[in-house]
Chain A
Amino acid sequence: MFKKLPFILMTLTFVLVLAACGSKNDAGTEGSNNSTGETATELSGNILAVGSTALQPLVEQAGQKFMAVDEYKNVTVQVQGGGSGTGLTQVSDGQATIGNSDVFAEEKIDDAAKVSELKDHQVAVVAIAPVSNKDAGVQDLTKQQLIDIFSGKITNWKDVGGADQAIVIVNRPSSSGTRATFENFALGTKVEDIQGSIQEDSSGTVKKLVAETPGAIGYLALSYLDDSLQVLKYEGVEATVENVEAGTYPVWAYEHMYTKGDPDAATQAFLDYILSDEIQQNDVTELGYIPVSGMKVKRDAAGTVTQ
């Protein structure tokens, strides 16, 4: 009888392992639905926010502050990176409560039914400025000049009024949200990758390469700009918070936090908290984003700007 016991144990373990693999992972939303009917003081639940690495620092910082508020002490906020695509996939599949994204879901997900399930919450604005190496000798570029540079028609800075220096393009990968924003609103067209151009996904690396490589041009979010780079004006307009808010500087995009359908009470409280003055006036500006409340213009998924 004893001889059979080990085999039974082994089979049991095997079955358990398989069962564990099969069960759906819904830890992210577990419990949060229970709190809907309760009073605000007893809010509880787990919020899992996944996605955009550009938005991650803000959500992380806001999450820490949110959990420290007495009212919300039973709510846990977890933040993970992984990229906008991952965030949208996971929120759409119900694996994450919130999907952080740099772009509208329409631009990433082809399935219209899946997009219509998602609810968009715009929490901040990020503006992007073209930057060049300091030796390039150019301060201002027009839209057409930028198109010519990024599509490889102009390959020397002297053709746009700068030094006699070959242009090195430091681009983002074609799937990047920052690149999509730059192409949509600065160039107005998609450009192909030029042979010999450089592609980096991290803003830190882009900054380092543009600052050190003679003749380099790239683009960065406002929070990364400093004296090591030449920040280029776009059509004569400087990339400043005021110009973006007034709508005169066009190269900007929303940071989105998507939920699947209407958020539950705990998630709604967290989203409200991020949109509150407390976060918008302090953390958002501190981290280099532009408060969404200050924007005098609005933009929809198709790119149409309204006052």
Chain B
Amino acid sequence: MNNKLKPRRPLREKHYWEEWTGRIYTSICVVFLIVVMFSIVYFVASKGLSTFFQNGVSLREFLSGKTWNPTGEPAAYGALPFITGSFITTLLAALIASPLSLCAALFMTEIVPGKGKKILQPAIELLSGIPSVVYGFIGLSVIVPLLRSMFGGAGVGIAAGCLVLSVMILPTVTSIMADALSALPKGLRESSYALGATRWQTIYRVIIPTVLPALLTGIVLGMARAFGEALAVQMVIGNAPHVPTSLLESASTLTSVITLSMGNTTMGSVHNNALWSMALVLLVMTFVFVILVRLLERRNRV
């Protein structure tokens, strides 16, 4: 700001306005973004917290109650089935997707950097462009019948949900991992080879430990995406409001129960407010994921 050049030419006026148009434009955008972000947080928090402050549902019941029966007498607002459903599907999806993504990223950057990248990169980017309703429909038409014929039962459930989710988060995780791997300084690999290490030794002794925080960042971002995904999961998970006892049993996630019920309830009713409380839980989890990523990035820099 202070090192502004003192312009001596007649163009002074023009440059001055150029400078300020850019500055005003970006400032407006930044202010707008901040306002939008705080409005969203305020809105979700005020709606979500009114379940506890206005409707008198206890936070303990909400977080640890196993019964979700908002239309019953007496009504019960236990969201534990949805919270566990969300966490189980997210963790399993990350567990399935991470090794696949790591291999794909290594293939693209270390093993066949030229051709591999040319073919695999667009293929993976294509995956991220497929709308989630398509994933959901494929899950419902392919994965659910497959699970049904393999294990019996209805086929819908946590297993179908996390399989669909794992494919959906593959592109996110893979591209972040691949970026991290290709950003490694060349000297690292070359010195490893110079010491007589083979390619595999280089990969798992030198490369992976070096970029581990970045790899974890990729996984965490993938988990954040999985945690927030609604439509595709809702179509295949079954949505029963119970803590599941097996992977093949119908269960719900926070997002699936919100999308399922939000439109059918009137604003201001306890049922509706309880759904907003779940949205608040999702928002808080997003913050947790963002903080995790920040922490990992900090470790990365050191």
Chain A residues within CB distance 8 Å of chain B: 2, 5-6, 9-10, 13-14, 17, 21, 53, 81-86, 88-89, 92-93, 108-110, 168, 173-177, 190, 192-201, 205, 208-209, 212-214, 216
Contacts and interface: CB of A to CB of B under 8 A. Distances in A.
Contact of A109 (B141, B155, B266): B266
A83 B35 CA distance: 29
Contacts of A2: 16
A168 B154 CA distance: 7
Contacts of B263: 53, 81-86
Q: Please give me the 9 A-B residue pairs with the lowest Cβ-Cβ distance, nearest first.
A: A83-B263, A175-B264, A199-B239, A89-B267, A85-B265, A198-B238, A195-B242, A175-B261, A85-B266
Given A173-B261, A192-B72, A213-B154, A88 B266 contact: yes
Contacts of A110: 269
Contact of B239 (A84, A173, A177): A173
A139 B154 CA distance: 21
Given A84-B264, A85-B263, A173-B261, 4 more contacts: A193-B69, A212-B144, A212-B145, A213-B155
B5 interface: no
Contact of A201 (B32, B140, B242, B260): B260
B71 A174 contact: yes
Contacts of A85: 262-267, 269, 272
Given A6-B20, A17-B35, A199-B239, A209 B70 contact: no
A10 B28 contact: yes
B27 interface: yes
A197 B28 CA distance: 51
A83 B69 contact: no
A21 B38 CA distance: 14
A208 B261 contact: no
Interface of B: 16, 20, 23-24, 27-28, 31-32, 35, 39, 68-72, 140-141, 144-145, 148, 153-156, 235, 238-242, 245, 249-250, 252, 257, 259-269, 271-272
Contacts, number: 124
B278 to A, nearest CB: 14
A187 to B, nearest CB: 14
Given A88-B266, A196-B249, A175 B71 contact: yes
A21 B257 CA distance: 30
Contacts of A193: 68-69, 240-242
Nearest to B155: A213
A84 B225 CA distance: 29
Given A199-B239, A216-B154, A174 B69 contact: yes
Contacts of A109: 266, 269
Contact of A6 (B24, B153, B252): B24
